[in-house]
């Protein structure tokens, strides 16, 4: 099996790739470790769940584009929410984002999910926003 990688920035310090592409009997793209804690300019999105959701998927979309895929290619994803009160809102936003072609999803939530440490993103403790929003989103995609 052939493997290639999309290397991130801060992910290198954490010893993981935000995207691994495998080929051999098909092409599969595995995406992991995407959050929406800050916008593209570095502004905190704490206490704004909708903005964090949208930023998370913008970040995933950018990574998928580097791998030659798009959000509509996603077939499954796992979402981790720190606060289960946002499950319904996340489902509504997901419906808006994907329309009728949404991928399979697993959603984990609850107190066992810890906020990010200072060194997870390299720019100060943003754990407070994660108590209310998406902590991690992982996806596998097979481009058409």
Domain regions of the chain by residue span: 2-141
Q: CB–CB of 52/81 below 8 Å?
A: no
At 10-46, the pLDDT tens digits run 677 777 777 888 888 888 888 888 888 899 999 999 8
- Both tokens of residue 57? 């998927």
Q: CB–CB of 82/133 below 8 Å?
A: yes
Q: CB–CB of 4/18 below 8 Å?
A: no
At 71-117, the pLDDT tens digits run 888 888 888 887 888 889 988 999 999 988 888 787 777 665 555 44
Q: Are strands 27-34 and 19-23 parallel, antiparallel or unpaired?
A: antiparallel
Q: Which CATH number fits domain 2-141: 1.10.3720.10, 1.10.357.10, 3.30.1330.40, 3.40.50.150?
A: 3.30.1330.40
Instruction: List the one residue out of 115, 119, 112 whose CA is nearest residue 134.
Output: 115
């Amino acid at each position: 099996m052939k493997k290639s990688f999309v290397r991130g920035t801060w992910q290198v310090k954490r010893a993981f790739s935000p995207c691994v592409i495998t080929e051999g009997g098909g092409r599969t793209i595995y995406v992991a470790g995407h959050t929406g804690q800050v916008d593209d300019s570095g502004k905190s999105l704490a206490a704004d769940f909708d903005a964090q959701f949208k930023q998370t998927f913008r970040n995933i979309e950018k990574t998928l584009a580097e791998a030659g895929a798009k959000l509509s290619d996603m077939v499954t994803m796992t979402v981790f929410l720190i606060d289960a009160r946002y499950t319904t809102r996340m489902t509504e936003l997901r419906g808006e984002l994907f329309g009728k072609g949404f991928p399979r999803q697993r959603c984990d939530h609850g107190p066992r999910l810890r906020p990010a440490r200072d060194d997870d993103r390299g720019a100060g403790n943003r754990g407070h926003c994660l108590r209310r929003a998406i902590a991690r989103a992982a996806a596998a995609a097979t481009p058409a």
